[in-house]
Amino acid sequence: MSSTARGRHELAEIGVLAHLFEDKEKIMTDRSNEQVDPRGAIKDPDEWVTGDEPPTAAQESYLHTLAREADADVPADLTKAEASKRIDELQAETGRGQ
């Protein structure tokens, strides 16, 4: 391959790379401009697929912390969904999570 042909080939490669970079920048910019519905990630605990399961360890721990602060009892045998609702109630009572 002659040096002229090699130079044209290298320039073509640079052009392709520049085009790909511009496309990536445009995609990244477009994504950052998207409006996200903050309610989209929040689902009613009654609609949880795993809502009937026992609460997670984190839920139990936080629930007991809030109950202690609110001088409230934690019912035994809560489901994951019930624990979530009780956490919301206790957060409102204690002023946490706001």
CB of 79 closer than 8 Å to CB of 52:
yes
What tokens does 1 get?
A: 């391959």
pLDDT at residue 79 tops 60 = yes
Q: Determine the length of the chain.
A: 98
Cα–Cα distance for residue pair 39/66, rounded to 1 Å? 25
What is the per-residue pLDDT across 2-34, written as a single tens digit (0 to 9) for each? 666 565 556 556 665 566 566 555 555 555 566
Return the pLDDT at 15: 60
Identify the H or E element spanning 90: helix 80-94
pLDDT at residue 45 tops 80 = yes
CB of 85 closer than 8 Å to CB of 79:
no
What tokens does 64 get?
A: 């007991």
What are the boundaries of each domain within the chain?
Answer: 1-32, 51-98
pLDDT at residue 97 tops 90 = no
